[in-house]
A and B are shown apart, each in its own frame.
Chain A
Amino acid sequence: MDDRYRVIRKLAEGGSGETYLIWDRRLAQNWVMKRIRTGREGGEEAVRREMTALQQVRREGIPVLADVYYERDAVCLIMEYMTGVSLEELLDREGAMKEADAIRYALQIAELLEFLHGLPGGLVHGDLKPANLLLSQGRMALLDFGGAVFQYGASAAEGYFYTPGYGAPELEKGGQVTVLSDIYAFGATLFSLVTGDRPDSDRGMYPVREQNPSLSAALEQIVLRCTNENPRERYASVGEVKTKLTALLLQHKNPGRLGGIRKRLLPEKEGKHRFQTVRCVLLTEGNFRGKGGTFLRCVLLLLTGICLGGFAAPKAAHAAQMQILPVSVRNGAGEKLLVDFDAVYYTKENPIFELPLHYFEPGRQYRVTIRQEEQENGTVRERSFVICAG
């Protein structure tokens, strides 16, 4: 081994062994050497599990197992070297993430888990936590397969270990390691991402919005369901969680609903128009999709019809004398439209007509008439308003 590899530095040290960065003289590239002591209890089992798992997995975001060396009291796994920063370091350094960022990362983790669970036999990672997730150039990588098992047959009695806080409660009681334990760990990791806090195994999982009220209720529900103490109450698969998260991310991109209000109203854009919601409440029993909604559509259709027919410029009568006054016409967004006498507007939005106040002398009454002619059949419609200038 000394002929081929040279140890550059120690990367980490844990209970089961050490990890080194090594240089491959033959291939002229860096590898990571994970040296696992076989003397300790469960050490051999961990090596066997990690080897079995990594041999069967070939995917971006999961390190490739290149070589294995056996020593007297240890086994050395030579694996792909991945650069980046672990999520644990990132959380320690920068604290909780924004909701949208956390969801993006969570989706990447979910993709990796979905791939593992979809392998023949269903590979469960078993030790998912921020320390085992590496962020490299915006992509997520999953490390440390020492706890990985194929779903069928493994249990705590066979030397299975877990990290307190991230390990599912049923594992403490010697329950079976299943996809659901990974879903629990996934929920706990998501909890850490959005709160910057480590889940407390004694206190149990608490609603994330206690920690960060700006988070959406939907995300809180996802975390709570993933980390439900009863495995049957959790999501049945990572794919299901992924669907929920994707929908939530889409809401962030194209807001639809947030905190009880119709998120359609919150057109969050990137850059200068970005805003952060502190508290948004809209409480009503008025059914907009009912009568109001139907009516609005009717009005829109009516106005669309009128607009397509073409608007004649509004005319204002000053006392008995008829005057034609220029008006400002704006579209629904408040943008000024080009206006001319006998102008025809092909717009689907409600046009807004503005008459400047200085047209009106105080103390007099004015009748403003909007006259509309349909170009096709010449039908004329008029609407008059009486304005009392104050």
Chain B
Amino acid sequence: MRIQTTGVYWSAAAGHGRNQDSLSLQHICLRKGECLLAAVCDGIGSLTASQEASGFVVHCLTDWFYHEGKNLILQNSSRELFLLALQRRFCHIQETLRQFQITQNSETGTTLSALLLIGNRYYLIHIGDSRIYRIRKRKIPIYRQKYHICRLTEDDKDQEGRLLKCVGVSGEDRATIETGRLLPQTCFLLCTDGFYRGNGKERIGQVLGPLLEMPKGEKRIRTAQAATTEHNIFDRRLELLGEQAMAAASKDHMAAVGIIVGAR
């Protein structure tokens, strides 16, 4: 697996001083190959200290990635061990936030969607209404739909749109932790609710899908300069989507992380 390019978008809603969303993108090269952690958290605005909660969660996951996660990768650990380690870290986060609420005598909470790419597998950890999308090119293009976009996560909401589960206030001990095979030429998008609500699934596919097009039949020379340009293009595409979302739903904060997995 080779990560071709990544992009991030992070913006506070107009008129709101502090962005309650947090994101983390950690892409490193180990001797075992590339690995990446991406996470977005949407702090629940109606509760107190939600930016602290979302910040703490991404920070905690990043901490896990560089300490335990990296060592698990180097030790060629099995997928069960990864799932267990992620669950353990989630419990740690949940317990810490619970204690925080007790000591502060307040309620706080955040959603969490995180993606871990290692070797030829992806691991996702999800709770709340942030989303992870996967975009692939259709083998047989349907009219006007050249790219296939699917949602890897389910929103933990009831029929009236109320959030049922989150990190923090709901006290859930379990998050959705899944693993799957990583296919080449795939784009992942992790985003908070404001981002996807203002764009819609199809528009996201239309804007990000073309990034999957790779020059065929010619050797691709990967230089640092080219990598920067690619990052810039991806960042710009996410910015376009973000601006669109901001125009549609200006009250929401936005955070999005995109990753394109290239050919092997």
Q: What is the interface of chain A, defined by CB distance below 8 A to chain B?
A: 209-214, 261-262, 265-267, 272-288, 290-292, 295-296, 298-299, 333-334, 350, 352, 354, 385
Q: Name B20-77 residues within 8 Å CB distance of A.
A: 20, 22-31, 34, 43, 49, 51-56, 58-59, 62-63, 66-68, 70-71, 74
Q: In the bound complex, do residue A286 and residue B28 qualify as a contact, i.e. CB atoms below 8 Å apart?
A: no
What are 16 inter-chain pairs, A to B, with CB distance below 8 A? Answer: A213-B224, A213-B228, A265-B62, A265-B63, A267-B67, A273-B71, A275-B29, A277-B28, A278-B29, A280-B26, A284-B22, A286-B55, A295-B99, A298-B103, A333-B68, A354-B88
Contact A266/B55 with A277-B27, A298-B103 known, Cβ cut-off 8 Å: no
Closest to A385 in B: B173
B52 interface neighbour in A279, A286, A333, A385, Cβ under 8 Å: A286
- Write out the residue numbers on chain B whose beta carbons fall within 8 Å of the beta carbon of A211: 224-225
Minimum CB–CB distance from A370 to chain B (whole Å) comes to: 12
Inter-chain CA distance A290–B27, complex, in Å, is 28
Q: In the bound complex, do residue B23 and residue A281 qualify as a contact, i.e. CB atoms below 8 Å apart?
A: yes
Q: In the bound complex, do residue B20 and residue A282 qualify as a contact, i.e. CB atoms below 8 Å apart?
A: no
- Write out the residue numbers on chain A whose beta carbons fall within 8 Å of the beta carbon of B54: 284, 286
A273 interface neighbour in B6, B20, B59, B70, Cβ under 8 Å: B70
Known: A282-B26, A291-B104. 12 other contacts (CB 8 A): A211-B224, A261-B26, A267-B67, A282-B59, A286-B43, A287-B51, A292-B100, A295-B100, A333-B67, A334-B85, A350-B92, A352-B92
Minimum CB–CB distance from B144 to chain A (whole Å) comes to: 33
A275 interface neighbour in B28, B92, B104, Cβ under 8 Å: B28
Q: In the bound complex, do residue A213 and residue B231 qualify as a contact, i.e. CB atoms below 8 Å apart?
A: yes
Inter-chain CA distance A212–B30, complex, in Å, is 19
Minimum CB–CB distance from B175 to chain A (whole Å) comes to: 14
**Taking the complex as formed, is B19 at the interface, i.e. its CB lies under 8 A from any CB of chain A?**
yes
Minimum CB–CB distance from A27 to chain B (whole Å) comes to: 50
Minimum CB–CB distance from B96 to chain A (whole Å) comes to: 7
**Taking the complex as formed, is B203 at the interface, i.e. its CB lies under 8 A from any CB of chain A?**
no
Interface residue SS majority, chain B: helix
Inter-chain CA distance A341–B86, complex, in Å, is 28
Inter-chain CA distance A279–B259, complex, in Å, is 11
Contact A285/B27 with A213-B224, A265-B62 known, Cβ cut-off 8 Å: no
Q: In the bound complex, do residue B29 and residue A284 qualify as a contact, i.e. CB atoms below 8 Å apart?
A: no
Q: In the bound complex, do residue B55 and residue A292 qualify as a contact, i.e. CB atoms below 8 Å apart?
A: yes
Inter-chain CA distance A81–B211, complex, in Å, is 57
Closest to A295 in B: B100
- Write out the residue numbers on chain A whose beta carbons fall within 8 Å of the beta carbon of B49: 291
| Contacts between chains A and B (CB distance < 8 A), count | 132
A282 interface neighbour in B34, B58, B68, Cβ under 8 Å: B58
**Taking the complex as formed, is B197 at the interface, i.e. its CB lies under 8 A from any CB of chain A?**
no
Closest to B228 in A: A213
Contact A213/B227 with A284-B51, A291-B49 known, Cβ cut-off 8 Å: yes
Q: Name B194-229 residues within 8 Å CB distance of A.
A: 224-225, 227-228
Interface size for chain B: under 10, 10 to 19, 20 to 34, or 35 or more residues? 35 or more
Minimum CB–CB distance from A270 to chain B (whole Å) comes to: 13
Contact A352/B88 with A278-B29, A286-B54 known, Cβ cut-off 8 Å: yes
B29 interface neighbour in A213, A276, A286, A295, Cβ under 8 Å: A276
Q: In the bound complex, do residue A280 and residue B55 qualify as a contact, i.e. CB atoms below 8 Å apart?
A: no
Minimum CB–CB distance from B94 to chain A (whole Å) comes to: 12
Minimum CB–CB distance from A157 to chain B (whole Å) comes to: 41
Q: In the bound complex, do residue A299 and residue B99 qualify as a contact, i.e. CB atoms below 8 Å apart?
A: yes
Q: In the bound complex, do residue A279 and residue B6 qualify as a contact, i.e. CB atoms below 8 Å apart?
A: yes
Inter-chain CA distance A173–B92, complex, in Å, is 63
Q: In the bound complex, do residue B23 and residue A278 qualify as a contact, i.e. CB atoms below 8 Å apart?
A: no
Q: In the bound complex, do residue A210 and residue B225 qualify as a contact, i.e. CB atoms below 8 Å apart?
A: yes
B104 interface neighbour in A285, A295, A385, Cβ under 8 Å: A295
**Taking the complex as formed, is B124 at the interface, i.e. its CB lies under 8 A from any CB of chain A?**
no
Q: In the bound complex, do residue B56 and residue A292 qualify as a contact, i.e. CB atoms below 8 Å apart?
A: yes
Q: In the bound complex, do residue B224 and residue A286 qualify as a contact, i.e. CB atoms below 8 Å apart?
A: no
Minimum CB–CB distance from A235 to chain B (whole Å) comes to: 27
Inter-chain CA distance A288–B68, complex, in Å, is 21
Minimum CB–CB distance from A202 to chain B (whole Å) comes to: 19
Cβ-closest 5 pairs across A and B: A286-B55, A284-B22, A284-B55, A278-B27, A286-B52
**Taking the complex as formed, is B121 at the interface, i.e. its CB lies under 8 A from any CB of chain A?**
no
Inter-chain CA distance A274–B66, complex, in Å, is 11
Inter-chain CA distance A299–B62, complex, in Å, is 20
Q: In the bound complex, do residue B30 and residue A286 qualify as a contact, i.e. CB atoms below 8 Å apart?
A: no
Closest to B20 in A: A285
Q: In the bound complex, do residue A287 and residue B55 qualify as a contact, i.e. CB atoms below 8 Å apart?
A: yes
Minimum CB–CB distance from A333 to chain B (whole Å) comes to: 7
Q: Name B163-187 residues within 8 Å CB distance of A.
A: 173
Contact A286/B51 with A265-B63, A278-B28 known, Cβ cut-off 8 Å: yes
Minimum CB–CB distance from B91 to chain A (whole Å) comes to: 9
- Write out the residue numbers on chain A whose beta carbons fall within 8 Å of the beta carbon of B74: 272-273
